[in-house]
Amino acid sequence: MANKRRQILTLAVAILGTVGFVGPLLFTLFSIFTNPEQTQAPAPRPNAAQQEDPALMLQQAAGYEQVLKREPDNANALANLASLRLRQGQFNQAIPLVEKLAQKQPENPELRLQLAQLYLITGQAPKAESAYSQVLSKDKNNVDALVGKATLRQTQGDTKTAKALFDQAEKTAPADLKAKVREVAKNTLTPPAKPTPVKPVPPPAK
């Protein structure tokens, strides 16, 4: 089980780091997901030093939690609190917030892709694959979801499906991303070469 979890975490790093176009960046602020019809005033933007002030982040989080007690579906509060949880490295706490945003905006694939990344980071590969599948059910040519699901399929030993998904991703990817898809597919589908055993050196003759 520990080895499987390490494999999933390695996959998460690969998807988030190597595949630059798979979903939004993990630490993307959620302002693009908020409801433009919300009448609540936007939160003030702290400077770089303030953003990482633990005390300030705790204070901000408490404020958003109070808003959500009064208005559980407030998209601005959900988005901003999720963003804070990500910056704090509290991925498990961010997941239910992003899940709720995704439920409120089923037409927004970026939220499902964000969820898939969070599921990977927290070792929940089946949920990550389900999130990719949900995106593909609405847009079968979504390159981000195709690459993410292909990589997951390969970790499950399903090379045939993984290759088919990578081929579809390359076919539908914009021209400037096709080479990147090929590179990721090659690195994912090609097993690492086994190290050549080193022959023992005989002791010098006396």
| Residue 194 included in any domain | no
CB 133 within 8 A of CB 150: no
Rounded distance, CA 142 to CA 165, Å?
11
pLDDT tens, position by position, for the chain (206 residues)?
Answer: 544 444 444 444 444 443 443 334 333 434 334 343 443 434 444 444 445 788 999 999 999 999 999 999 998 899 889 988 888 888 999 999 999 999 988 888 988 998 999 999 899 999 999 999 999 999 999 999 999 999 999 999 999 999 999 999 999 999 999 999 999 999 999 876 666 666 676 777 66
| Residue 206 included in any domain | no
| Residue 203 included in any domain | no
| Residue 135 included in any domain | yes
DSSP secondary structure string for all residues of 71-85: -TT-HHHHHHHHHHH
What's the structural domain count of the chain? 1
Rounded distance, CA 206 to CA 203, Å?
9
Whose tokens are 């009064």? That residue is 70
| Residue 198 included in any domain | no
DSSP secondary structure string for all residues of 181-194: HHHHHHHHHSPPPP
Q: pTM of the prediction?
A: 0.71
| Residue 195 included in any domain | no
Containing domain of residue 160, as a range?
2-188
Q: Specify the CATH number for the domain of residue 130.
A: 1.25.40.10
